[in-house]
Amino acid sequence: MSKQRSLQQYMLPAAVIMLFTAMLFFPSQVLRGASFGLLLWFNTVLPTLFPFILICNLLISTSAIDMLLHFISPLFCRFFRVSPYGAFAVLAGFLCGYPMGAKVTADLYRQDMIGKDETAYLLAFCNNTSPMFILSFLVMQNLKDDRLKLPVLGILTLSPVIISFLHPAGKVRAQASPPGTVPFRSKKMPFSDALDFSVSNALDSIAKVGAYIMMFAVFTELFLMLPLGGSTFCLLLAASLEVTNGITMLCGSSLSRTSVFILCLAETSFGGLCAAAQTASMIRGTGIPVSSYLLKKLATALVASLLACLYLSLAGL
């Protein structure tokens, strides 16, 4: 046991030193990866994600969220077995993309609007790729088949919904308010304070997302230099680092079209290790282990793969 602990104690420092050495010896690859990550963040992530972070912060900090929940909570509370405020996390997680579901859930927990059991339940299924990313980047730019829009969107939406029903929610249901009943909050920020907080928090969050995207883009460049051969396993390892790079690599590989379709849907539903790192940053301090989140995302990827196989079988493709 002591030898095992000693080995684990030295593994992380050794890995960091190896990474530092690789970055010193291969600066051009580091520059290429960092540049790609920066451009991806600046051109795509910043203009699409920052406004959603800002408006979600404003909603949570003001009474606007209570008004919104009067419309969405009756359906969401019954279907997903959540509280009214948990319904907002579901809405953000399915529409806004990584890591908004995790951020909104963690913010609601920190403001005592949902409990810890509900926080863990929501993180199991409401942190997903946005429909805009699925339709434009995955289907249009990479799979390049307009006929796949509805099937792909349906599969990637249904997969986390299935996971939500497989996750035990007994304690969540017991703690939740009756469907359609929005709890009254006596403490609300003045709008000027809420706006200032929302902007500061959004800038901090989007900067973290950008740093993780750049970091994992560098990891991908260095990983592709390893003499691992051109096996499918190595391709999957590289693709699992970051979802945008991963989808591009899968679609540019020599795998069959059916294999690419299944793997792309699995990769998109999983989100990649970069999205997992972003999520870990957003939920820090909630007491929810990121390992639990990763297991649920792997289960979601498995469900998406099975649904993709079923679709291909029924469609005769």
Structure tokens at 250: 């899968």
Nearest to 92 by CA among 62, 51, 63, 120: 51
AA identity, residue 4:
Q
Residue holding tokens 């986390």? 160
Q: How many CB atoms sit inside 10 A of residue 278's CB?
A: 26
Specify the pLDDT at position 194: 86
Q: How big is the chain, counted in residues?
A: 317
Residues 6+ apart with CB under 8 A from 304: 155, 156, 159, 265, 266, 268, 269
Chain mean pLDDT for the chain = 87
Per residue in 193-231, pLDDT (tens digit) is 889 999 999 999 999 999 999 999 999 999 888 876 567
Least confident segment among 45-54, 166-175, 177-186, 301-310:
177-186
Helix (H) or strand (E) holding 256: none
Higher pLDDT, 7 or 32: 32
Per residue in 269-285, pLDDT (tens digit) is 999 999 999 999 999 98
Residue 106 pLDDT exceeds 90: yes
Local confidence band at 104 (pLDDT 50, 70, 90 cut-offs): very high
Fill in the DSSP letter of residue 113: S
Examine residue 99 and say whether the peptide bond preceding it is cis (omega within 30 degrees of 0).
Answer: yes
Fill in the DSSP letter of residue 183: P
Residues 6+ apart with CB under 8 A from 158: 307
Q: Angle between the 191-223 and 272-282 helix axes, to the nearest 10 degrees?
A: 150
Coil, helix or strand at residue 287 = coil
pTM of the full structure? 0.86
